[in-house]
Chain A
Amino acid sequence: MPSDRIVERRRVFQQYKADVKERGKPFYPFAMFHDTVMSLVVVAVITGLAIVWKYSTPGDHIGTDPGWLGKLYDDPADPGTINFVPRPDWYFYFLFYLLRIFKWPNSVIIGTIGLPTVLLVLLLLVPFIDIRSERRLLRRPVAIVASVLVVVSMGVLTYKGATAKESLGSELVAKVPGWAKAANFTANKQAVGGAHLFAVSGCLNCHTYQGTGGGFAGAPNLTAEGAKNKGVQFQIDHLKCPACVNPGSPMPSFAGLGEANLKKLASFLEASKGTK
């Protein structure tokens, strides 16, 4: 025996079908006209964006200089020189920025996997959470609050993700002497060389060092990494395959830098025993 609610909603749907049959209008030409106009607008907008992307690129419109809508293409991918900014397309910025909020190792998984999974499941379950037949917005306060919260938080996260600053390697190199002095490894040539590599290899897009850097994906602060006395060999192994030494680490492999460079970086990390 179906409940009153089920009987009622079945009745309303039968009524809907009867009403549409009686006083609806045919899809063609009425609704189809609206759909066609809207589709033409969509195609025009897409074409317009493509034209602006190309013709706002400076010079002869073929280089890697950014136009109003960004670069036509970046420099070729090079797994060896690791001066990179791990930045996704704009519609992933909200996820991207979540990675700056949650910190490694305890809660980063909440930002990377936990929250998005929970949101996806909640989204799938919407029709089973909201089972009332009321459709008028003013009588659905929970739906209003939920949608405002979602739109605002996604908007803020997207904006923060879009404006999040990544430091350029060239600016960071200027800080190397200061780092060496503060951490007291100026005399250690290997470590100073490693500090240069550290500055230009994109490490600070995620890690922080003496107050500089991204704090992205929960990457730890490395100012006092050497104080843990893990040893040069450990650091080299970790740089080659972070997830092998530290299971679940999202850090990419830096094996492409080569043995000599890895040794410099490792010496730098071991020499970084914090500032006094």
Chain B
Amino acid sequence: MATRRMTRSEQLQQTIMYPVDWLEERSGLVGGLRYFLFRKVPGDINWFQTLGSATLTAFIVQALTGVILAMYYKPDPNSAYDSIQHITNDVFAGWLVRGMHRWGASVFIILMFMHMGRVFLFGAYKYPRELNWIIGVLLLASGLGEGFTGYLLPWDQTAYWATVVGININGTAPFLGPFLAQFLQGGTYINADTLSRFYAIHMLMIPGAIAALIGLHLYLVIRLGVTSPPWSKEAAGTGPLNGASPNGRATRTGLSRFRRGR
């Protein structure tokens, strides 16, 4: 009797796990997810180190609300403004989605700066994480690019004239400036194609780049690990904890040679 029940629960388990095993056998994704979730991180990480994932969340909010807005927005000078009014005043919860996209942009930018500040103050950009800092700076620049291109889309007076001057300022750059201005405008002047061009850059080109860069960024975070806070007495990199090293890792890094040299 006991044997039969065992067999049955085993069969049940096997049936439930079959799709998971099927996926694992063909892709290795389950193992990858397991590695991601159960990989070890230093025991002393703190709340400041959630700013990166908070930034990712803000980006996901932008992506989702952006897709919904794209379903109603019309990137054409004759109808863009009306479609924004339609979204804000008529579409169900359109004001909420547009408001979240508009203010999510600010939150995204603030979080990027805060995350960068955290990494800087923790010295977390140092060997072997230099490359991830560079990817982060590129993400910051792309995020600001999203802010610049998205600002034109409501096609109201503020948007239009801020962008005219913004493009003209890009145009003053030596060598590349005129080409950049022409690329952004789709011509020598701001014209009917400029709006759809900004729309394409805003919702296809830069978000694609950002998504790819975030993928690389996370890959490097997982590969290289998260740093301990620099002040931590039990920071990873200190070696086994035996209470003999009140200064934490400092006695073992460059500073020890500095002291010996003195």
Residues of A that sit less than 8 Å from B by CB: 4-5, 8-9, 12-13, 15-17, 19-28, 30-32, 34-35, 37-39, 41-43, 45-47, 49-51, 53-54, 61-62, 69, 71-79, 82, 84-92, 99, 108-109, 112-113, 120, 123-124, 126-128, 130-137, 139-140, 143, 147, 151, 202, 217, 243, 248-253
Contact = CB atoms under 8 A, between A and B. Distances in A.
A39 B57 contact: yes
Interface stretch (B5-13, B15-23, B150-158, B204-212): B150-158
A73 B156 contact: yes
Interface string B133-154: 1100100110010011001001
Contacts of B255: 134, 139
22 contacts: A12-B237, A22-B240, A24-B236, A28-B38, A39-B53, A49-B100, A50-B98, A50-B102, A78-B157, A79-B190, A88-B162, A91-B109, A128-B130, A132-B126, A133-B127, A134-B250, A135-B122, A135-B123, A135-B124, A135-B126, A248-B171, A252-B165
B133 A127 contact: yes
Contacts of A87: 158, 162
B41 interface: yes
Name, among B61, B156, B190, B250, the residue most crowded by chain A CB atoms within 10 Å (CB to CB).
B156
Contacts of B231: 136-137
Main secondary structure of the interface of B (DSSP, over half): helix
B243 interface: no
A21 B40 contact: yes
Given A73-B88, A77-B156, A113-B173, A50 B37 contact: no
B57 A112 contact: no
Given A112-B172, A126-B125, A89 B147 contact: yes
Given A126-B120, A132-B254, A46 B104 contact: yes
Contacts of B126: 127, 130-133, 135
A51 B103 CA distance: 10
Contacts of B130: 127-128
Nearest to A82: B161
Interface string B28-54: 000000001111111101010111011
B102 to A, nearest CB: 7
A243 B170 CA distance: 13
Contact of B37 (A22, A32, A84, A89): A32
Contacts of A108: 172
A15 B249 CA distance: 10
A127 to B, nearest CB: 4
